[in-house]
Structure 1
Amino acid sequence: MKKVVVGLSGGVDSSTTAAILHHQDYEVVGLTLWLMKGKGQCCSEGMVDAAFICEQLGVPHHIVDSRDLFQTHIVDYLVEGYSAGITPLPCSQCNKTVKFGPMLRYAKEELGIDLIATGHYARIRYDEQNNRYQLLRAVDRSKDQSYFLYDLTQDLLAGVVFPLGEVLKSETRRIAAQYNLKTAEKPESQDLCLVEANGSMRAFLDKYITGKTGDIVDENGKVLGQHEGIHHYTIGQRKGLGIAAPNPLYVIGIDAGRNLVIVGDRENATQTECIIKRVNWVSMAPPTSPIRAEVQIRYRAKPQPVTVVPLNSAEDQQVKLIFDEPIFGITPGQAAVWYTGEIVLGGGIICS
């Protein structure tokens, strides 16, 4: 019987993943990562539900204390980024450094199991011609999470299965109900885990960053208003500026050194190209010449046609993205992920 470690958050997706594999005659072991610091978190609803699902299925349940890892790679990462005037994307960082990597390592070293599974909506297939694992969009495009998984390396993809990649979300609920899982009707998580734990991203950041008031200025340096801390602003933001102007204004720049938020019209918030750092080529080897693709600069953004130009960099793998049409709200710190059809070719972090 094949063994698999299933990452359990206590939600319907991961619970159904465990149930599907259990009923496919896998020997399932549940694994929950304890990520949040703070009083009472060890008894949080997610952990309790994960434990209940394992008891219901009759499988073992392990809890790994990953709070220090989460603090270093996610909390500190976010605080450092927002303090520097960028808007970091924690999810892809968390998937690689906190979840998939440590989970697979724990499975192999502590349990002697070479395979892990999660409830992510994405697919993996092996390309025999190029001897490479490919990451693909989920069948349910409305739930597709491949954007957040672009940073997974070949060794991680080799040890992961995504049972929900082939099903619709409605089918996931039906399967959960079929197996009488406690989580079958559990509401979906709508926000980042840190947002849910703190009430809002603003509340989370205010716990770690002391807001310093400064000026909101236009492109020419004219003072238009005041801000309460640059960490409350992001590129492309329109609401919450507190400025009366004849035309809509958007955040087009954040100058951490001078503690300035720079605003302008929508045209000034669009770009025709940007530089991407920390690139991970997922489904293909790094190219030596430009390629054509479709890129997403945010999770829910519509893919846009782009030319991906490899750059020589002493620091890390970098590319330049040249868009066919100017794109609004390109935000340093966020991820850009490029596809060909349903295949994730690669991705990285927007730096300029």
Structure 2
Amino acid sequence: MKRVVVGLSGGVDSSTAAAILHNQSYEVIGLTLWLMKGKGQCCSEGMVDAAYICEQLGIPHHVVDIREVFQTNIVDYLVTGYSTGVTPLPCSQCNKTVKFGPMVRYARETLDSEKIATGHYARIRYNENSGRHELLRAADRNKDQSYFLYDLSQDLLAASIFPLGELQKSDTRRIASEYGLKTADKPESQDLCLVESNGSMRAFLDKYLAPKKGEIVDANGKVLGQHDGVHHYTIGQRKGLGVSAPEPLYVIALDAINNKVIVGDRTKATQPECNVERVNWVSMAEPSAPIKAEVQIRYRSQPVPVTIIPLENSRVRVVFDEPQFSITPGQAAVWYDGEKVLGGGIIERFDG
């Protein structure tokens, strides 16, 4: 019997993934990662629901305390980023360093399993010609999470199973109901667990970063208003600026060193290109020449055509066919060939 370790958050997606594999005669072991204290789908409430699901399915349930790993790789990473004027994307980092990496190690070293599974909406396909595991979009494009998985290594992809990859979300709910799972009607969790457990990103950051009053200025340095911390702002932000002008203003830069929020009209928040660092090539080897692709610069954005130009030190330059609004340092840029994730990385701070 094939053994698989299923990551259980206590939500309907991971619960259904476990039930599907159990029904396919896998030897399923449930594994819940204890990330942080407090309420939220991934913490105390989620652990209770995950334990209940394992009891329903008649499978073992393991809980691994990785709060220190989460604190270092996610909480500290976020706080440091926001304090320096970037808007970090924690989810891709969390998937690689906090979830998939520790899960695979625990599965191999403690549970004698080479395979893990999660409730992510994405697909994996092995390409015999290239010898690579390819990461593909989910069949349900509205739930597709491949954007957050671009940083997974070939080893992690080879070890992973995504039972929901070919399903629509409605199918997942239906299957959960058919199996009588406790979580079948559980509400959707927010994409970011820290927001869910703290109420808002602002509330989370305010626990770690003290208010620091400074100036809101235009591109010429004219003072338009005051702010209480650059960490409360992000590139492209329009609402909540607290300044008036004859035309809509957007945050176009964050100067953490001088504690200034710089605003301008929409054209000044639009860029023709950006550099991307910490690049991971997923479904293809790193190219030696520019390639054409489509890129997403945020989770819910539509993919747009670009040219990807390889640079040194795991970096690329992304040149957009048409300039894009609100390219945000710290967020992920992920490039695709149709449904296939080619690679991705973190958007660098703009020069000048």
TM-score (norm. length: structure 2): 0.98
Residue in 1 aligned with 2:268? Answer: 268
Residue in 2 aligned with 1:157? Answer: 157
Alpha-carbon offset, residue 211 of structure 1: 1.5
Where do 1:38-77 residues align within 5 Å? Answer: 44-77=44-77
**Which of the residues 334, 342, 345 maps onto 1:337?**
334
Alpha-carbon offset, residue 37 of structure 1: 3.4
Residue in 2 aligned with 1:211? Answer: 211
Residue in 1 aligned with 2:318? Answer: 321
| CA displacement, residues 231-273 of structure 1 (integer Å, 9 cap, x when unaligned) | 0000000000001111000000000110000000000000000
**Alignment partners' CA distance in 2, 1:41 and 1:177:** 19
Mapped pair 1:114 → 2:114? yes
Percent identity of paired positions between Structure 1 and Structure 2: 75
Q: Using a 3 Å threshold, how does the CA distance of structure 1 residues 144 and 39 change in structure 2: closer, same or farther?
A: closer
The amino acid of 2:275's aligned partner reads I
**Alignment partners' CA distance in 2, 1:40 and 1:274:** 35
The amino acid of 2:184's aligned partner reads A
RMSD over equivalenced CA pairs, Å = 1.3
Residue in 2 aligned with 1:135? Answer: 135
Alpha carbons 1:211, 1:230 under 8 Å: kept: no
| CA displacement, residues 126-159 of structure 1 (integer Å, 9 cap, x when unaligned) | 0000000000000000000000000000000000
**Alignment partners' CA distance in 2, 1:197 and 1:326:** 36
Alpha carbons 1:118, 1:162 under 8 Å: kept: yes
**Alignment partners' CA distance in 1, 2:42 and 2:183:** 19
The amino acid of 2:183's aligned partner reads T
**Alignment partners' CA distance in 1, 2:195 and 2:9:** 16
**Alignment partners' CA distance in 1, 2:245 and 2:8:** 49
Residue in 2 aligned with 1:221? Answer: 221
Q: Using a 3 Å threshold, how does the CA distance of structure 1 residues 61 and 309 change in structure 2: closer, same or farther?
A: same
In structure 2, the gaps of 5 or more residues are none
**Alignment partners' CA distance in 1, 2:42 and 2:137:** 34
**Alignment partners' CA distance in 2, 1:203 and 1:28:** 38
| CA displacement, residues 84-115 of structure 1 (integer Å, 9 cap, x when unaligned) | 00000000000000000000000000111000
Alpha carbons 2:39, 2:197 under 8 Å: kept: no
Residue in 1 aligned with 2:345? Answer: 348
Report the number of matched residues.
349
Secondary structure class of the residue paired with 1:243: coil
**Alignment partners' CA distance in 2, 1:43 and 1:145:** 21
